[in-house]
Structure 1
Amino acid sequence: MRAFCGLMAVVAVLGWGAGAEPPEIIPLAQVQPGMAGYGLTVVAGEEPSRFEVEVIGVLDEPGTANDFIIVRVSGEAIARSGGIAQGMSGSPVYLEGKLAGALSRAAMWSAEPERPLGLVTPIEPMLEVLSEFNPPTQPEEPQKLPVPKELEKLGISGVVLCQAPPSQPVGTLLYAWPVQSPIVTQGLSPRTLEVLSQGVSLDLVDHPFLRLRPAWRDGIPGLRGPGVGRIVQAPGGARDDGGARFVPGGAVGVGLLTGDVTIGALGTVTLVDGDALLAFGHPFLFTGRSDYFLTSAHIFDTVAALDAPYKLGTLGASQGAILADRWAA
């Protein structure tokens, strides 16, 4: 089995592999409104699908924690998914053929599910994590950022970064929060799954083979974090794919528990180099240094749910370890 290791959320590589060339990137300073490019993500199966990307504006603030590329995404992959789906976190975005960053946030303001607005975490702060193992303090309050002229033309008066959808949103503000990752469980009976969620007020929707938690509700005990979305009871057991190959835009799993019972999350690979990878582009549980299982993943399909679309998938065999779960800075 080929062992991979990563630093997650920004899930970051440990270093360039021996003899390997670092990927060509486009710095945030060179990104301009009007640029067109593409992204990669798995909608169903294991092969990444392409979606189109148009740069709307750039949020370039002091430091790197609040730097984002504002994009509008489109194409068959987005239309089929019903928008930017949970599990797309980490989908690589390329401009002028160069890696610009990872799709990491979805915008509540978007009224066009087939052409939604999203935020891309620039690749530079993701790469900076390689040499920085002390995660910066996560902002506790929503932050309102200046509005680029391109967004003013769309009637947007402000951009607010938050960790969850606001309870009383203002119509002229663009709210953006992490594209959450669906928590995948396998091997649990309905009663056991109920115990896992016990003590938290959840509006659960019954389905023949899955149970969902609306993304705006509190997390389940022990699984609270800015990157946690709904709870999905996935069909089948873990896939026996010890020889899995990670590719940019491919699905990746983060295992908290593996074996007869599996609990973990789904995301998307941003970059692969040697035996290391980057993924997600935002925190999962925001634990800093971590030792999660890095697993392969298979996507059955992407569900265009009414509250937020999500990828329905399953975790595969362990491929290595996730070494850090951090803020994208």
Structure 2
Amino acid sequence: MAQGTLGPTLVDVILPRKATLATAALAAVLPLANAAAQNAAQPPLHADPFPLSEVHRGLHGTAWTVFEGTDPEPMDVEILGRLKDAIGPGQDMILARLHGAKPEFTGVVAGMSGSPVYIDGKLLGALAFRIGQFSKEPICGITPIGSMFQVRDLPTLAPPAIATPLSKASVGETSPEIHAIDTPLVFSGFSQDTITRYADNFRNLGLEPVSGIGSASPDTHQPQPIVPGSAVSAIMARGDLNVAATCTVTYVDEKQLLACGHPMTQYGNISIPMTKSEVIATLASPMNAFKIVNSTETVGSFTQDRANAVAGTFGRTARMIPVAVDITPEPGSGLPAQSLHFEVLDNRQLTPQVMLAAVYQSLNQNNTAANQMSLRLTGDIALEDADGRPGTVHLTSTFAASDNQPAAQLATVSFAQKFLAVFGNDLAQPKITSVQLHAVAVPRRESAELETARLSTNEAQPGDTIQVEATIRPFQRESRVVRIPITLPTTLTPGPLRIFVSDGPSLDRLLTPPPAAGSVNLGLQDTVAQLNRTHSNDRLYVTLLDHQTQAVTAAAALPSLPPSIANVLQPMRGTRQITFTSETAAEAGSAPAEAQLSGAEVLTIRIR
């Protein structure tokens, strides 16, 4: 009211009304603004694709990814241009720069691949590539959604276990300065020693191993639904040991999802458990920035691993290989026992790498492990062939630590040779039904050398029983004598007879020479039989080398061949399917060496 007047002026009347109208208008607008803000706080669940032909420099959009928790957060995206054929022939890449406090602080981090990018509410594609190693700006490459939809629409072409993996050169490698964003491979329950030993095997597949930064909680229910921008994990191992690879969802419908925007390994058809994931934190680092992830409940199976995306199907169950490893201390040692149970994915390319790292971890990283430890290892690899016929590969040997290798490493290498021989068979893909290993941990180095060997007599007749005496020197202990009685066959002919006294591996090399170049590969059942004929390395063996022709094939040795049969088999020499030796090796006896034995000696006796 104006001073010195009897009532309100016209201005006094008008201004309060304007204020009232403004307040009312604001009250009406606020709910709409709040609703818009709430809508903007979530990525679109269903969006049309943004035409690649309309992409040009200067466009702005929004990318979504999880920095912490389970809810995707927005990042501003500035389109810098389109790189023709950058991903492959006919496959363009969209170059972009990220804006915002978080992406400018963290940069392009491992686990961010697959983050969806929208322009005007339409789905452009997925963040998938980083530029350079120590870039000062969060510049990235985007895989167009059209290329990813090609993966969504693929039929199942072959059983996952038989598909042939591509070489690393074809996995997201576009140029020395453009790399697929690393997929963090989180190892939970593994030591840094294990990760260091096997890390390069995974890096060669495009996966970045991360030790102890993350975990697995498969029994944890995660109520939040999977939406574009959510984190998802591919489970390589679960149980007492866990391995999971994590990236971001680009597209999701009621049946399936697309993620990553690049391959994990580009294996093709796969079957790997797919889980929801929670991002505990995002670690910023110029060397190796990544998301720290906790994988949770299983929601389906990843079914495709292709050049432009990884696809997963909801509700599908992936097959896993059950593994049990028991460590029992030597009686009286006072060391604790340990038992580990876990499952490993069934994939021709990834399973061997995960299996070997898990077995090494199980055997080495426990309170029984020590530098001078030995392991007496037994076990079975149970399998079925394509016709459902069962088979079992048996393992039994002793492994003593050396000056530069722990016993667990030696045992793992031995296990790997047999596992890979069946799992990587060129003629048939087995179904591994279980792996069971049992190791007795001995707190000392149980290795020994064969010093000398001698016979109880220099002459004998066919059918006589003679004795082989061998002197064995254990590591840092007194030598001892091992005696093995053998009975000479009644079919021996007069003259000198050579007797081979040896460890198990030397005998295997004698009985099964290495295959010649171009030789025929063994089928699965023959491979299992051949592996089960190998000899333990902790026994001393006596073998007679008789003067009769022996044929050796990839599957077996054929001793004491009559000349007529040898002549029939001669044509096989031209195809390198068979070799002949002038002596037949016949095992005559063995005795425990009570240590990992090395050494061999040839003795001669005259047959009267």
Q: Same fold (TM over 0.5)?
A: yes
Among residues 191, 208, 213, which one is paired with 1:234 in the alignment?
213
- Judge conservation of contact 2:251–2:257 (CA < 8 Å) in 1: yes
Bigger Cα displacement from structure 2, 53-62 vs 134-143? 134-143
The 3-state SS of whatever aligns with 1:67 is strand
289 and 140 in structure 1: CA distance in 2 versus 1, 3 angstrom threshold: same
C-alpha deviation, 1:186, in angstroms = 1.7
Hey, what does 2:97 align to over in structure 1? 72
For structure 2, the 5+ residue unaligned runs are 1-44, 158-163, 310-608
The 3-state SS of whatever aligns with 1:258 is strand
275 and 132 in structure 1: CA distance in 2 versus 1, 3 angstrom threshold: closer
The 3-state SS of whatever aligns with 2:239 is coil
AA partner of residue 264 (structure 2): F
Bigger Cα displacement from structure 2, 309-318 vs 238-247? 238-247
C-alpha deviation, 1:237, in angstroms = 4.0
C-alpha deviation, 1:122, in angstroms = 0.1
CA RMSD of aligned residues (A): 2.9
The 3-state SS of whatever aligns with 1:254 is strand
The separation in 2 between residues aligned to 1:194 and 1:301, in whole angstroms, is 24
The separation in 2 between residues aligned to 1:296 and 1:27, in whole angstroms, is 30
C-alpha deviation, 1:45, in angstroms = 1.0
AA partner of residue 182 (structure 2): Q
Hey, what does 2:193 align to over in structure 1? 194
For structure 1, the 5+ residue unaligned runs are 1-20, 144-159, 167-174, 203-217
The separation in 2 between residues aligned to 1:242 and 1:300, in whole angstroms, is 14
Alignment of 1:238-277 (within 5 A): 238=217, 240-241=220-221, 243-277=223-257
The 3-state SS of whatever aligns with 2:104 is helix
Hey, what does 1:140 align to over in structure 2? 169
110 and 37 in structure 1: CA distance in 2 versus 1, 3 angstrom threshold: farther
237 and 121 in structure 1: CA distance in 2 versus 1, 3 angstrom threshold: closer
The separation in 1 between residues aligned to 2:55 and 2:230, in whole angstroms, is 25
Hey, what does 1:100 align to over in structure 2? 124
Among residues 287, 291, 296, which one is paired with 1:316 in the alignment?
296
Among residues 47, 54, 74, which one is paired with 2:78 in the alignment?
54
The separation in 2 between residues aligned to 1:76 and 1:286, in whole angstroms, is 33
59 and 78 in structure 1: CA distance in 2 versus 1, 3 angstrom threshold: same
AA partner of residue 181 (structure 1): T
TM-score, length-scaled by structure 1: 0.70
128 and 266 in structure 1: CA distance in 2 versus 1, 3 angstrom threshold: same
Hey, what does 1:161 align to over in structure 2? 174
The separation in 1 between residues aligned to 2:68 and 2:273, in whole angstroms, is 23
- Judge conservation of contact 1:238–1:262 (CA < 8 Å) in 2: no
- Judge conservation of contact 1:184–1:232 (CA < 8 Å) in 2: yes
C-alpha deviation, 1:328, in angstroms = 1.4
Hey, what does 1:34 align to over in structure 2? 58
306 and 61 in structure 1: CA distance in 2 versus 1, 3 angstrom threshold: closer
- Identity over aligned residues, as a percent? 29
Hey, what does 1:152 align to over in structure 2? none
The 3-state SS of whatever aligns with 1:296 is strand
185 and 236 in structure 1: CA distance in 2 versus 1, 3 angstrom threshold: same
Flag the structure with more relative contact order, 1 or 2, with Cα contacts below 8 A and sequence separation at least 6: 1
* Structure with the larger helix share: 2
Is residue 131 from structure 1 mapped to residue 148 from structure 2 by the alignment?
A: no
Q: Which structure's CA Rg is the greater one? A: 2
The separation in 1 between residues aligned to 2:267 and 2:135, in whole angstroms, is 34
Hey, what does 1:122 align to over in structure 2? 144
185 and 78 in structure 1: CA distance in 2 versus 1, 3 angstrom threshold: same
C-alpha deviation, 1:260, in angstroms = 2.5
